Amino acid sequence: MSDISLAGGCSCGAVRYQCDGEPVMAAHCHCRDCQRSSGAAMATVFAVPKAAFHLLQGKTSTYAYTGDSGQPVIRHFCPTCGAPLFTEVTVMPDLQFVRAASLDAPAQIQPGMHIYCDSAQPWGECQDGLPRFPKLPA
């Protein structure tokens, strides 16, 4: 693993985490659940190996829904301030997905694509030239 360390947490400071090593992917997600949970046209997320993710402080509340795979997706958020933090995707059990906005230094993340563009909002269209995928890339 790399020497990079990505630290973050919620708005009120009750929950803190750290990710050791480089993300294996980073994307702007336009799925409806990311839109609803972020209150925006998309959410920027990154993934690290689950072994590289460490919850350092606090406990999260969770919300589970059924992803397009038919399997559960579990969103973790702060029970005090409601900040969205990280997600477990059942069909990708070795990865931990993290909201880039919850990082102490979100500029460390460089998204490489847009995903779930089939549900992107026309008023939130990005013209950044990154590859776009209707769902997840194969």
Where are the domains positioned within the chain? Answer: 5-123
Q: How far apart are CA 71 and CA 76, in angstroms?
A: 16
Residue 110 structure tokens: 């460089």
Task: Give the distance between the most distant pair of CA atoms in the chain.
Answer: 39
Question: Is the separation of the CB atoms in 96 and 47 below 8 Å?
Answer: yes
Say if residue 99's pLDDT is above 60.
yes
Question: Is the separation of the CB atoms in 23 and 109 below 8 Å?
Answer: yes
pLDDT category at 86 given cuts 50, 70, 90 is very high
The DSSP 8-state label assigned to residue 33 in this structure reads: H
Instruction: Give the pLDDT score at 1.
Output: 39
Task: Tell me the CATH number for domain 5-123.
Answer: 2.170.150.70
Q: How far apart are CA 129 and CA 92, in angstroms?
A: 27
pLDDT tens column, 40-68: 999 999 999 999 999 999 999 999 999 88
